[in-house]
Structure 1
Amino acid sequence: MSRPQSESTPGLIAPPLTTASLTSTFTTSSMSRRSLFKGALGAAALVGLPGFLAACGSGSSSSGAGATGQGATGAVSYGSNQSDAVPKKSIADMVTAYQQQSGGVTVSVNTIDHNSFQENINNYLQGNPDDVYTWFSGYRMRFFADKGLAGDISGVWDGISGMGDALKTASTSTDGKQYFVPATTYPWAVFYRPSVFKAKGYQVPKTMDDFYKLTAQMKTDKLIPLAFADKDGWPAMGTFDQLNLRINGYDFHVSLMAGKENWADQKVKKVFDAWRKLLEVSQPDSLGRTWQESAQSVQKNDAAMLVQGMFMAQQFTKGADQEDLDFFGFPEIDSNIGTDAIEAPIDGNMMAARPKNEAGAKNFLAYLATPAAQQLLVSADPSVIATNTNADTSGYTALQKKAVDFIGAAKNISQFLDRDTRPDFASTVMIPALQTFITTPSDVDGLVNSIQNQAKTIFVS
């Protein structure tokens, strides 16, 4: 799946965060990752489903299907932003399999560039949206559910098995109803080529001191230590999250995203100070580079490492090329904080508030939650793992199996900056702020003061 995290949504005004609204996104304090991934491979598996989108389709509404969509017929339109080749094929395979057993429901997939989809999501949902569309769990789901722009699918959840309470919570809005069906997940980490590390005698770093010693050797060996891209605005958010989790810890990170901390605090300044040093070993001119191009820098052995989501595996060809890709958790910065908090976004599907074929949409959503559907997604796209713990993991690649263990061993998991905070804050404040920092990293005081002044006008009680 391509990682459509840049969720620029001009004009969106989110409701204030509440204790209840925070409990749904895997950013809930002290939520155990193990409880979420009980199942496959002894630890359990979760995975981020490719997000989709597109032009609006039509279909006639079916009667007699009830809250679960049983007995549905007719046409269902499916909005997909999975425009990259690998996730687009995984969607096509899954839809084909569904139609062969649906008993009369046909699905038309409408695909559009993922950044364009997310930048226009508000207008899309208020206009003539597809019956089913891909989106994200947690805050991003709740935001549109609370605005009445998503359909209640609690009845579908009554028939779902293989997904525990944590996943259901991540699919529940502030009214206690479910609006989201998880499909896949994937970790953010530091990715690299094992063959390069072996050939050069590099060791995986455990601490940031080890990391910088390694980057110095990489420079001597004429390698770019760390690939980096932020043309689309969202990739740099992942670097901020990793540093903040390691420097200030999970609880502070969650509170900061909720608008409950001061961005001008010394703790936040420490994050940017650490990042400024990281920029010295990072690929230059990142604002002119896409995430795909940064992944290709590692694939071509021009750069040695990349802080990215596992979806970067889409830029590697199937077989030996993909098999020569591995990752390690972001190194330890403070031994008192450790490394037991990670980032692993959950992707899935939602229903329009007023679908043309509600019964068919619910029937399709019920299928998307099944092991069979998710196995098709992950077999075609080895950059993700399935959220349903009954999915067959025997065909997982080494990278997927490692992702299951990595996520399963984490104590706390965040979703990603632009999923864990208000959409207006993420798009109108953080994207330009981080890009300003990348080009002018010297004025940290001015940067954090600017962020805080804008945050005060957005995070109002």
Structure 2
Amino acid sequence: MARFETPHPLMGRRALLKAIVAGAGLAAVPGLAACGGSDKGSATDTVSFGNNLSDQVPKDAITAVLQAFEKESSLKVAINTKQHEQYQEQINNYLQGRPDDVLAWFAGYRMRFFAGKGLTGDLSDVWSKVGGGYASALKEASTGSDGKQYLIPFTQYPWGVFYRKSIWQQRGYEVPKTLDQLVALATKMKSDGLVPIAFAQKQGWPGMGTFDQLNFRINGYQFHVDLMAGKEDWQSPKVKEVFDTWKRLLPFHQENALGREWQEAAQSLGQGKSGMYLLGSFVAQQFKGPDLDDLDFFPFPEINPAHGQDTVEAPIDGYMMARKPANEAGAKKLLEYLATPAAQAAYLKTDPTSIATVSNADTSGYNAIQKKAAQVIKDAKHITQFLDRDTDPRFASDAATNGLNAFIQNPNDIDSILKGMADQAKTIFTG
């Protein structure tokens, strides 16, 4: 079994969301310092780079990319790496202080939030040069409320149900296409002595992925995004059906999830103790060699035939520019490079758990998980980011996290849980 490390896309979500909430007008967390300083890029031949990929594999991967950029340009890159969770906790203070010229962040609501505050730089002129390499959906995810672009997409990863092929072959399991087939399979796994669905909720965010899958499979993409935007009622029969369906599946989930981190759940899958695991493809970071070759996944099964499997959760990670970079010309030159197939291929060569975002990327070196990830995203009619990327951070950090945890603890208390979530949603979205 492979090492177990903190993932680069999803670590420290609750801390991150609280930091964003602070940026919305609440008191900032005391004692947080800016991650970097634009003085690092004060020399015209140097670009400072705020890096949140602190684990060894992704850190090595982005370092290789930046070294390649140095060779191709006349510029040097000063890499400022912060531990991933700390980076996200400090993002609000960081952007208001002396941020690096180029800095890591996420597409969608998270990007728009800070762009709307005027804390990041307009990249529309960069997009005029590199936009041809991106699908329209990626441009949309990189566009602020003012119609300008503020992020260069770099990598993307889908969520799916992961499993070990060898175990399924030994047991004669088949990929379920519908919810009923999933329940039948989970029942068989349980009788075979396996935990059907590995599950962890100590970090607060994994359950959001389960909710998302159930919601857009049952109610469709449009209802899902409208619910995230505060345009639908959390006490509606449609949301109640989501939790009733989850309640049906919960007995098949790994017990004591609130005390387990996602890496531990991944370990149970790797050790053959669990049969399935719903997570992003970054779970592949935890497998290597024969274990990685044995890993496979499938999109969450159909629940409502009206929507089938038309929606895929596939968050986008990328890079922004400081609002007043010390070396703006150099920053834009680096961002243009990050939008090239060569740069993204260089990264994925070292960290092959995500896929490139540029449409003309060389995929010949993709492993089986990456090839399937690319195809699943390509085939999707709709793409979502993730609950805490698609909604107001104030709602995600408290109402959603606490509501989902309460449901996992007491699934018979759905009505009161949804009332609490609905009340908070009304306060946040109409206040």
2:17 matched to which residue of 1? Answer: 8
SS in 2 for 1:326: strand
Residue in 1 aligned with 2:258?
287
Question: What's the counterpart of residue 138 of structure 1?
Answer: 108
Q: CA deviation at 1:14?
A: 5.6
Aligned counterparts of 2:18 and 2:152: Cα–Cα separation in 1: 22
* Letter in structure 2 aligned against 1:58: D
CA distance 1:218–1:356, change in 2 (3 Å): same
1:460 counterpart residue number:
430
**Structure-2 separation of matches of 1:104 and 1:339:** 46
User: Is 1:107 aligned with 2:113?
Assistant: no
1:407 alignment counterpart: 377
Distance 1:60 1:247, change over 3 A: closer
- Following superposition, the deviation at residue 13 of structure 1 comes to 6.5
Q: How far apart in 1 are the matches of 2:423 and 2:287?
A: 42
Q: Distance in 2 between matches of 1:299 and 1:255?
A: 37
Instruction: Output aligned runs, 1:363-442, within 5 Å.
Output: 363-442=333-412
Equivalent pair of 2:47/2:75 in contact (CA under 8 Å): no
Match of 1:162 in 2: 133
Give the whole-Å Cα distance in 1 for the aligned partners of 2:202 and 2:249: 18
Cα separation, 1, equivalents of 2:63 and 2:378: 29
Q: Is the 8 A contact 2:157 2:373 kept in 1?
A: yes
Stretches of structure 1 lacking an aligned partner (at least 5 in a row): 16-52, 63-72
Structural mapping, 1:58-97, within 5 Å = 58-61=39-42, 73-97=44-68
Write out aligned runs for 1:184-195 (5 A). Answer: 184-195=155-166
Tell whether the 8 Å contact from 2:45 to 2:74 is kept in structure 1 after alignment. Answer: no
Question: What does 1:194-213 correspond to in 2, within 5 Å?
Answer: 194-213=165-184
The answer to whether the Cα contact below 8 Å between 2:395 and 2:425 also exists between their aligned partners in 1 is yes
Residue 334 of structure 2 corresponds to residue 353 of structure 1: no
- For residues 11-34 of structure 1, what are the alpha-carbon distances to aligned partners after superposition, in whole Å with 9 as ceiling and x for unaligned? 34669xxxxxxxxxxxxxxxxxxx
The aligned length equals 412
Contact 1:8 1:424 survives alignment (8 Å): yes
SS at match of 2:430: coil
* Segment of structure 1 superposing worse, 239-248 or 171-180: 171-180
Q: 1:120 to 1:436 in 2, by over 3 A?
A: farther
Q: 1:315 maps to what in 2?
A: 286
1:215 corresponds in structure 2 to 186
2:231 alignment partner, one of 256, 260, 277: 260
Q: Distance in 2 between matches of 1:446 and 1:128?
A: 45
What is the alpha-carbon distance in structure 1 between the residues aligned to residue 120 and residue 105 of structure 2?
A: 11
2:261 & 2:271 partners in 1: Cα distance?
15
* Distance in 2 of aligned mates of 1:375 and 1:410: 23
Question: Contact conserved, 1:9 with 1:118, CA < 8 A, in 2?
Answer: no
Cα deviations by residue, 1:269-325 (Å, 9 ceiling, x for unpaired): 1111111222211111212222222222211212111110000000001x3221111
Match of 1:329 in 2: 299
**Range with bigger deviation, 434-443 or 369-378:** 434-443
Name 1:240's counterpart in structure 2.
211
Q: Which has the higher contact order (CA 8 A, sep 6+)?
A: 1
Unaligned runs of 5+ in 2: 1-6, 26-33
Distance 2:90 2:400 in 1: 18
SS at 1:8 equivalent: helix
Q: Corresponding residue for 2:246? A: 275
Distance 2:97 2:42 in 1: 18
More helix by share: 2
CA distance in 2, matches of 1:363, 1:74: 12
TM-score normalised according to structure 2 size? 0.91
> Aligned to 1:402, what secondary structure does the other structure show?
helix
Name the stretch that deviates more: 148-157 or 357-366: 357-366
Question: What TM-score does the superposition give when structure 1 sets the normalisation length?
Answer: 0.85
Opposite residue 339 of structure 1, the aligned amino acid is: Q
The equivalent residue for 2:3 is: none
**Distance (whole Å) between structure 2 residues aligned to residue 60 and residue 88 of structure 1:** 20
CA distance in 1, matches of 2:94, 2:35: 9
